[in-house]
Amino acid sequence: MTLRDVKVDQTVSVVKLHGEGATKKRIMDMGITKGTSIYVRKVAPLGDPVEVTVRGYELSLRKADAEMIEVK
């Protein structure tokens, strides 16, 4: 399951980051690393972007980036 599949008001934990290079590094720089807890706050009407809370701050992620984050 990826972060894109998570419903609003659910909290999940990061299992693995997919992707490579600059994209993966950018996601990690935002504080999303293995074992991090992510709370899904809102999803835009068309599904893009997804607003989450990570490490105490709000973050908006594009669908493409959310698909790279495997969660449980």
DSSP string across 5-32: GPPTT-EEEEEEE---HHHHHHHHHTT-
Identify the band that residue 48 occupies on the pLDDT scale cut at 50, 70 and 90.
confident
Query: What's the confidence (pLDDT) of residue 47?
Result: 78
Contacts of residue 26, defined as CB under 8 A and 6 or more positions apart, other chains included, come to none
Q: Is the pLDDT of residue 46 over 90?
A: no
Identify the band that residue 40 occupies on the pLDDT scale cut at 50, 70 and 90.
very high
Return the residue matching tokens 């419903």. 7
What is the model's pTM?
0.89
List the domains of the chain with CATH numbers: 3-71 (2.30.30.90)
